[in-house]
Amino acid sequence: MAFELPPLPYMYTALEPHVSARTLEFHHGKHHQAYVNNLNNLVPGTAFENTTLETIIKEAEGGVFNNAAQVWNHTFYFESLSASPQAEPTGKLAEALRKQYGSLDGFKEGFSKAAATLFGSGWAWLVVKPDGTLDIVQESNAGNPLRKGLKPILTCDVWEHAYYLDYQNRRPDYIQAFWKIIDWKVISSRF
């Protein structure tokens, strides 16, 4: 089974001025595509040749894991963004965020801190734990909370290729812009 690069649900220009078309051309068109290509070159003849990305993430190691997780992580990230996002969560997710973090702003503060303080490259995640409560976790490199039995519902890519063309070394500025393009309708549906 060959994996394919999922198309973005919006044009490369759609997220400007928060994320430029040039960044998306590199981030999606080059980096995300490279993970897909690498994975397709690595899985033939392995136990993962005809499995899902989720199975590979949970069971593989090394390059197969890294590339599969990066394909999944990036797809999940890009699908969370929108040119005309719902600005706030609703329903059960809004209630859970208030209960866990005091307010949406309290959650954003904690999540932004996790994204800004992750050493090196990786991902900040909002996850649902097996007991149904929420948690903010950091994962380095290609890390994915599925490996720990957690259900991801939101992520922020803090690899430099996600923001360097637009924000250079100003990761906090990128994270602030990230909140302006998160579609809470999508995130709420994952909860």
Query: What mean pLDDT is reported for the chain?
Result: 97
| Domain's final residue, options 37, 55, 79 | 79
**Which pLDDT score is estimated for 120?**
95
Average pLDDT of the residues in 133-159: 98
pLDDT tens, position by position, 34-66: 999 999 999 999 999 999 999 999 999 999 999
Which residue range forms the structural domain that includes residue 59?
21-79
Res 10 pLDDT > 80 = yes
Res 29 pLDDT > 90 = yes
Q: Partners of 156 in the beta sheet?
A: 124
DSSP run (H or E) holding 135 = strand 134-140
From CA 24, how far away is CA 108, in angstroms rounded? 24
Res 70 pLDDT > 90 = yes
Regarding whether 153 and 100 lie in a shared domain, the answer is yes
CATH assignment of the domain containing 71: 1.10.287.990
- Cis peptide before 145, with omega less than 30 degrees from 0? no
Chain CA centroid to CA 106, Å: 20
Res 18 pLDDT > 80 = yes
CATH assignment of the domain containing 171: 3.55.40.20
Is residue 7 one of the residues assigned to a domain? no
**Which pLDDT score is estimated for 156?**
98
Tokens of 73: 């992580």
**Which pLDDT score is estimated for 1?**
73
pLDDT tens, position by position, 85-140: 999 999 999 999 999 999 999 999 999 999 999 999 999 999 999 999 999 999 99
From CA 101, how far away is CA 153, in angstroms rounded? 16
Q: Domain count for the chain, please give it.
A: 2
Q: For the chain, give the percent of residues with pLDDT over 70.
A: 100
